[in-house]
Structure 1
Amino acid sequence: MRTRNPGRRGGLRAATAAGVLLLLTLTGCGAGNNGTPDAGSPPSASAAATTAAPGSPAPLPSSPVAVPAVAQPAVLTRSEPVTLEIPAIGVQTDLLNLGLRENGSLDVPPTGSGAPASWYNGSPTPGERGPSVMLGHVNALGGSTGVFAGLRKLTPGTDINVSRADGTTAVFTVDHGAQYSKNNFPTLEVYGNTPGAELRLITCDGYDPATKLFDDNYVIYAKLKA
């Protein structure tokens, strides 16, 4: 990795300041049993109102109070992702650059066999400050496995490599994975701003044979390797 930029603050472009509420719900996984991680509507920003506490203000100090600077982890400069590689589970895929549908929901990769994963272009590029978001299928049409079928096999410490358009590679280390019901998805935890550069890999989980739908999402959390 190279060209680090310790000063840039990231996170989803729609939500950048403290006191901003991210509103996002992950819904169904697409038609039938494709295992598409339909990520619903992207986060929208809503400024939180503040109200002064009653009573007299505290007296001002006689001299300015120094506020210590908080060091943030170094990150990479902006560069869009090209390929994703996870050697531990044999994943090597080109990355689609997808944004929003006309209805405001996140677009998802196609469902055919061998379909690549996608990077949500409303999130930071991999290596920038904040969570870079990637989506992929858990299975595909015709009973084939999807590109993210093996996410559950990833363990803490596993490396994930993202090749970028500027020729650099952002190397992330898996921190943990978690399964969430689509009805109780922790939006802020998954999509909210982070001090350093992080990666989120999202797919479907919790397949219900009765409905032929996926009720859950599975999320891998990874951090930029120092």
Structure 2
Amino acid sequence: MTARNPGRRRGLPASSAAGVLLLLALAGCAAGTSAQPDAGPAPAAAASPSVRSSPPVTSSALPAAPAAPGPQLMPVMGASKPVTLSISAIDVRTDLLHLGLRGNGSLDVPQDSGSGAPAGWYTGSPTPGERGPSVILGHVNALGGSKGVFADLRKLTPGTEINVSRTDGSIAVFTVDRGTVYSKDEFPTFEVYGNTPGAELRLITCDGYDPATGLFDDNYVIYAKLKA
């Protein structure tokens, strides 16, 4: 992916977002011991007020006009690849894989070798702390029926801190805004991956386990924003 200027990265391109969606819908979260586990009209103008005669006012008597406020800039950081993710509220600390797209356009997934897979940052998204939504995926379960790295995302509440250490030695600190569950058949691609005015984070895993099929029908998404 072509590099972009620090602090100016935005959301994922439509093709990349579609690839991530394909992963989450098809390849992410199978249960069981042998499967790879989971991831109106305009208002009318006001009438003019009536005009009355009044004594002239000299310019020296006029108060100085207040300066117009500038645009409110959202906090962002420069580009730096992530190294680890820590969420002390649910006792999570994981090294971060760097995951790209496969030849078929779908996203590569963390592989579980038997002791659980670490979470993975999607390299087509902004680095954590840059402007735009940085995407990190993790499994909800692990081989042998163990818990996956993102098994407890549902326990996160608004205001919970999420720390991402980066290769430049800095730490991007995010606070949870909300968590939402989506059916994989109705996943809102651009709400999750689209442009944002500031630096944001998306943690994504699978949800909605169906024991009849051994599959997960939903995704659970944590939305978080860079702490000012």
Q: Fold-level match, TM-score > 0.5?
A: yes
Greater helix proportion? 2
- Pair 29,214 (structure 1): closer, same or farther in 2 beyond 3 Å: farther
- Equivalent-residue separation in structure 1 for 2:12 and 2:192 (angstroms): 14
- Equivalent-residue separation in structure 1 for 2:174 and 2:191 (angstroms): 18
Q: What amino acid sits opposite 1:12 in the alignment?
A: G
Bigger CA radius of gyration: 2
Shift, 1:101, TM fit = 1.0
Unmatched segments (≥5 aa) in structure 1:
1-6, 38-67
User: Where do residues 4-83 of structure 1 align in structure 2 (5 Å cutoff)?
Assistant: 8-14=7-13, 23=18, 25=21, 26-30=24-28, 32-33=30-31, 34-37=36-39, 70-83=71-84
Normalised by the length of structure 2, the TM-score is 0.76
User: Where do residues 73-222 of structure 1 align in structure 2 (5 Å cutoff)?
Assistant: 73-111=74-112, 112-222=114-224
Unmatched segments (≥5 aa) in structure 2:
1-5, 40-68
Alignment root-mean-square deviation, CA: 2.3
- Equivalent-residue separation in structure 1 for 2:224 and 2:211 (angstroms): 31
Q: Per the alignment, in what secondary structure is the counterpart of residue 204 of structure 1?
A: strand
Normalised by the length of structure 1, the TM-score is 0.77
- Equivalent-residue separation in structure 2 for 1:31 and 1:155 (angstroms): 23
- Pair 23,94 (structure 1): closer, same or farther in 2 beyond 3 Å: closer
